[in-house]
Structure 1
Amino acid sequence: MDFLPLFTDLKQRHCLVVGGGSVALRKARLLAKAGARVNVVALEIQAELTQLVSDSGGALFQQAYGAERLDNIFLVIAATDDRELNKQVSADCHARNIPVNVVDDPELCSFILPAIVDRSPLMIAISSGGASPVLARLIRSRLESSIPSAFGRLASLVGSFRDKVKNRFDDIEDRRDFWEQTLQGPIAEMVFAGKDQTAAEMLQQAIDKADVRPGGEVYLIGAGPGDPDLMTFKAMRLLQRADVVLYDRLVAPEIVELSRKDAERVYVGKARANHAVPQNDINQLLVDYALQGKKVARLKGGDPFIFGRGGEEIERLAELHIPFQVVPGITAAAGCASYSGIPLTHRDYAQSVRFVTGHLKDGSLNLPWGELVHPQQTVVFYMGLVGLPDICAQLIQHGRAEDTPIALIQQGTTQHQKVVTGTLGTMVSIIADNPVQAPTLIIVGEVVELREKLAWYEQGDLSKPIL
């Protein structure tokens, strides 16, 4: 994080704009809208800017800039086309510890101005840290179209009832639960429909009838194979509601960061022969947190019901009648295959696909090998890296040809993805010279041969046509 986002109260504070042109006018408008008293210093000043200064209660100095103009100033914006002058303003402000923004020159800034979505009192600021203001504005445009102006009225309604809710609920978590339910239910819909008075009456009734201690709930969330963009909308929504987040080793750090900043985060990852928290203890943690009235997100890599032990984790919850929701995720097989350009099924090569664990509960590889050697079937092995020599040998022994294509996909869908291809007969020696690390997915079948045609984008050659 290059800049810490802050919202500053500028009401009745004297702020200085250095410059008198159109850029200075835009910045001055922003300051005036926030309630600042706008002071301007420049040799030439537009008439509209002169009027704005007068209306804000600020002062106008039609003269060359001098450091004395910084006396009793809270914040400064340098908006001239003279970089040497801008550098001088920046240096003077830094010497006096006055926050300064130099338009289009992040190196000279101690703060930057974001693109803003104004739904007062709700404010949304978007910033690229000065790297790409155009990108920030594009994102603002998307948000503008997706966030109705009614959100401002909703925020005002909530603000008018904050004290009543605080008096009704002593515990901050109870208040948060109440507001989360309110802001996602019929009261909010009344505001969006323009029925603010009805919404206020409903909110008062909800406060009077509310349970002081809402029950806990568990969200079993499939986080997908790694790329945060593969999370579902429901997964994102529930993750950001959670008070506690229990997450696996295979969940990308970027996904964990999407949870609320005040949420408690508990690592319960498991690697081969190294379980940070035993599975039974994880099951009990879900119960314990839920019985405390907390909303618990259980983040699991891939899909929780495909080699994710999700069934075991909700079994105890069901016995105790603790509410839970299961959110499916894109399983590693689908995600890694897609990002590697390997279709799991293809009319000419594979009419079925089979998902198999390469690491049984007892550590053995006692699999139904005879069922896994059909020539028109794709087989995907989860957790099979350690057992790779055995997998290749058993498939060959049970009838698969040694030249059957095979792919190993390391850290699939992430920026660290690595794909190694070969055959059942050659793969063990290939990775001896080109090691791969867990987590790794193994795909066996003729569909692997299609990778050369379908994964051209990995090399960044955008000149080739899409097949």
Structure 2
Amino acid sequence: MLIVDLHLKGNLVIVVGSGNEGMKKVSSLLTQDCEILVISSNSNPQIEKYTKQRKIKFKKIKLNDASFLSKYKPYLVMATTTDKALNRKIVEKARKMKSYAYASDDPEISDFSHPSVINIADTVQIGISTGGSSPAMARKIKIKTESFLKKNISSEDIYQIKLQKFARFEAKQVLSTQLDRKKFLYGVMNDKRVKGLLKEGKYKMAQGRVKKMLKELT
């Protein structure tokens, strides 16, 4: 098994089913900047809330087979109904459409396993996976480690991640080689002035410091 970070930005992801498994998948997708469509025969208060907030779209249909998928061009389809046979049909249909497919109740037919994810400030995502062998144990390990990670990944770390993204973009405009950009980014990460500003929550000033450091190199 190879754990990868799948980039879903701008792509359509269809979640079939609105039960507990379906809502877990929707929650994990909300930070991915993708188009989320939930298809189910039933709604629930959480779906109505997300729909009202325009975070997702919802289509209510009676689920008898997988033919409904033909109307769409999804990048990823996640089947989370309580009907295992239907989930398999949905996966098979998605594959015929050249979409990635996942069934919450059958890791063997899925293109990937869905890890138990620890989300920290919508910036750091840590996946815990057993490769589909035991989702229950993945959740148990998540519970055991989540509080530790949230205590040890500070707000300064979160700011530094955001600043590194900013610094990388700025560096690409003026530094021609990957080696030069790498050295610059490590310089930003280890700069005492930057560290002090981030510790005080002065992110805008830290951005200014990055620009100054970059200017000194050019």
TM-score normalized by the length of structure 1: 0.40
1:87 equivalenced with 2:93 (yes/no): no
Q: Structure 1: which 5+ residue stretches go unaligned? A: 213-467
8 A Cα contact 1:50 1:60, kept in partner: no
2:183 is aligned with 1:177: yes
Counterpart CA distance in 2 for 1:128 and 1:149 is 29
1:142–1:86: structure 2 CA closer, same or farther, 3 Å change rule?
Answer: farther
Q: For residues 84 and 99 of structure 1, do their structure 2 counterparts lie closer, same or farther at Cα, with a shift above 3 Å needed?
A: same
Q: Are 1:190 and 2:197 an aligned pair?
A: yes
Counterpart CA distance in 2 for 1:41 and 1:166 is 41
- Please identify the structure whose Cα radius of gyration is greater: 1
Which aligned pairs between 1:304-343 and structure 2 lie closer than 5 A? none
2-side partners of 1:120 and 1:58: how far apart? 21
The residue number in structure 2 matching 1:130 is 132
Aligned to 2:6: 7
2:94 is the counterpart of 1:96? no
Kindly indicate whether residue 60 of structure 2 is the aligned counterpart of residue 58 of structure 1: no
Does the aligned pair in 1 maintain the 2:36–2:55 contact within 8 Å?
Answer: yes
Q: Could you give the per-residue CA deviations for residues 130-152 of structure 1, whole angstroms, max 9, x where no partner exists?
A: 23422652444433332123433
- CA separation of 1:51 and 1:126: change in aligned 2, threshold 3 A: same
TM-score, normalised relative to structure 2: 0.78
Q: Conserved in 1, the CA contact under 8 Å of 2:160 and 2:198?
A: yes
| From 126, 129, 151, the counterpart of 1:145 | 151
* Equivalences, count: 209
Q: Which runs of 5+ in 2 are unaligned?
A: none
Relative CO higher for 1 or 2, CA cutoff 8 Å, sep ≥ 6? 2
RMSD: 2.8
Letter in 2 for 1:75: L
Structure 2: distance between partners of 1:33 and 1:120: 6
Task: Identify if the C-alpha distance between structure 1 residues 78 and 149 changes in structure 2 by more than 3 Å, giving closer, same or farther.
Answer: farther
Contact in 1 for aligned 2:14/2:37 (Cα 8 Å): yes
Once the 2 structures are TM-superposed, how far is the Cα of residue 194 of structure 1 from its aligned partner?
1.0
The equivalent of 1:221 in structure 2 is none
Residue in 1 aligned with 2:210?
A: 203
3-state DSSP of counterpart to 1:154: helix
**More helix, by proportion:** 2
Q: Is the alpha carbon distance of 1:8 and 1:152 closer, same or farther for their aligned partners in structure 2, counting shifts above 3 Å?
A: same
Rounded to whole Å, the distance in 1 between the matches of 2:75 and 2:59 is 16
In structure 1, the residue corresponding to 2:108 is in which secondary structure? Answer: helix
Check conservation: 2:41, 2:63, Cα contact below 8 A. Answer: yes
AA aligned opposite 1:67: A
Deviations 1:432-462 (A, max 9, x none): xxxxxxxxxxxxxxxxxxxxxxxxxxxxxxx
Q: Is the 8 A contact 1:39 1:60 kept in 2?
A: yes
Identity of aligned residues (%): 20
Task: Output the CA distance in 1 between the equivalents of 2:147 and 2:93.
Answer: 35
